[in-house]
Amino acid sequence: MALLPILKYPDPRLKKIASDVEVVDDSVRKIVEDMAETMYASNGVGLAATQVDIHKRIVVIDVSEERNNLLVLINPEITWFSPEKIVHEEGCLSVPTIYDNVERFSEVRVKALDLNGKEFELKADGLLAICIQHELDHLMGKVFVEKLSALKLNRIKTKIKKMQREESKN
């Protein structure tokens, strides 16, 4: 297992649209293993392959309190959105220290492949539904801060530039 470097917004590689996994094999399982280790080590609840500069449709999620219920979604696709929406504060491993409210669908149904290449379907609500939508956005080259108002996004970009200047001094 290996910790993978997480791309930081506004890295242009975060804009790349991920391609489908053709075959779920040992190389894909190794990517999933490394992504899960990276997510857990970073105290995240989800990680898309795009965030670690792997442009394949792979997502790992664990919203459990115990951090022992890994959900792996390969080639995920949302097949249904609830008519209801919710607003929830989100953060992102690619945009550290930034949190803001984002409106999402309150429930979703997603189909994906598991680690054996077997298709399954899952209905999710609450934090899991939010996380699925957030991570699938990454696979489409979108970061949650881009859902915010132009004013908020400009403030975030200014804050990130300031943080990058501070880091480069150290």
Binding residues: 92, 134, 138
- CA dist list (Å): 113 to 17, 55, 62, 93, 144: 19, 17, 17, 24, 24
Token digits of residue 137: 């956005």
The catalytic position among 77, 135, 146, 167 is 135
Q: Clarify whether 135 is annotated catalytic.
A: yes
Binding residue numbers for Fe cation: 92, 134, 138
Whether the Cβ atoms of residue 31 and residue 118 lie closer than 8 Å to each other: no
What length does the chain have?
A: 170
Residue with tokens 């792996």: 72
Catalytic residues: 135
